[in-house]
Amino acid sequence: MRSQALTAVKAGITRLRDKGGASADSLFDLLNGYVTAARTIACRPGSRIHVDLPPGTKGLVWFQGVFVAFSHLVTVSPDPAVEIEVIRHPTIDAMPIKDIHFALPFLGYLYVVAEFEDGLVRHYWLEKGEIWQPNHVYVPGTLVRPTNGNGMAYRVESNRAGLTPWSPNVARAMGDVVVPTVDNGYSYVVTELTGDSPRSGTIEPTWPTNTGETVVEDVNGQGTVDPIEDTTTNTTVPPSVKDRYGSGSSSTEVV
């Protein structure tokens, strides 16, 4: 591309020229610059930010208020303005990163294209998860990261080793420990028995997840049994739903 020296701008930015070559008297566009009072072009000064990157890191991107670099090792950043995200080879954890070809936000997280020293190129979407909190209940599958980030995220898994998953029509004894067929992070202890030969029901109950709640198995397959105090319930329906009398704010249902 031929360069054109701009020494005296007379027309500013104009896009009306559709014929002929470039004019030294006008601009089609101007990036990171401005026109001085003497009608010359000057470069707009930019900000200078000094950060120290740990050795062995690759790439650099600005994301969520900090600079982010990448490494295959857990690396402590000497600067609070810099975070080091860990990206590892799919099969060789010790394989260093050769280059970061792409790193930009995508759907709320960084989308990174990394090349390793063995030439393998892989794409990563760095879902960070929520910050760990004390005395907080985390269900299996939740992604959690440390309060002081170390570039890693951790997925919660429950330890079900030695515990018996629920199954129908199984004899129950006091103190038996049962876990749901679909892991919810909780285990349940048998605290009360009924009948001469207590057994589990035919339908898996709905397992409570709040402290102090209990679940009752009915051998007839009724699942959780709750005391019934009133057989009349008021159900709120949308205002747009009308009955034959033109009202629709609520309905009374007798069960």
79 lies in the same domain as 39: no
Examine the fold and report which residue of 69, 103, 126 is the final residue of a domain before the chain moves on.
Answer: 126
Q: Check residue 96 and give its pLDDT.
A: 95
The 10s digit of each residue's pLDDT in 186-200 is: 889 999 988 888 889
The mean pLDDT value of the chain amounts to 80
> Quick one: average pLDDT of 113-129?
93
Kindly report the pTM of this predicted structure.
0.54
**Distance (Å, whole) CA 166 – CA 172:** 11
Judge whether 84 lies within some domain: yes
The 10s digit of each residue's pLDDT in 24-69 is: 677 777 778 887 888 777 888 877 788 888 899 999 999 999 999 9
Judge whether 69 lies within some domain: yes
Domain count, the chain: 3
Q: Check residue 252 and give its pLDDT.
A: 46
Other Cβ atoms less than 10 A from the Cβ of 62: the count is 13
107 lies in the same domain as 62: yes
Instruction: Give the structural domain span for 202.
Output: 159-227
Judge whether 240 lies within some domain: no
Q: Check residue 237 and give its pLDDT.
A: 46
172 lies in the same domain as 115: no
| CA 199 and chain centroid, separation | 42
Regarding predicted confidence, which is higher, 159 or 206? Answer: 206
Q: What is the DSSP letter of 181?
A: S
**Distance (Å, whole) CA 22 – CA 43:** 20
Query: Are residues 184 and 196 in contact, defined by beta-carbon separation less than 8 angstroms?
Result: no
Tell me the three-class secondary structure of 94-106, residue by residue: CCCEEEEEEEEEE
In one-letter notation, the amino acid at residue 20 is G
Judge whether 154 lies within some domain: no
Judge whether 105 lies within some domain: yes
> Quick one: average pLDDT of 204-216?
87
Judge whether 212 lies within some domain: yes
Q: How confident is the model at residue 255 (pLDDT cuts 50, 70, 90)?
A: very low
Q: How confident is the model at residue 242 (pLDDT cuts 50, 70, 90)?
A: low
> Quick one: average pLDDT of 96-117?
94
Greatest mean pLDDT range, 114-128, 191-205, 233-247 = 114-128
Judge whether 142 lies within some domain: no
Judge whether 17 lies within some domain: yes
222 lies in the same domain as 167: yes
41 lies in the same domain as 62: no
66 lies in the same domain as 17: no
**Distance (Å, whole) CA 75 – CA 73:** 6
Q: Check residue 197 and give its pLDDT.
A: 86
> With pLDDT > 90 as the criterion, what percentage of the chain qualifies?
30
**Distance (Å, whole) CA 237 – CA 248:** 7
39 lies in the same domain as 70: no
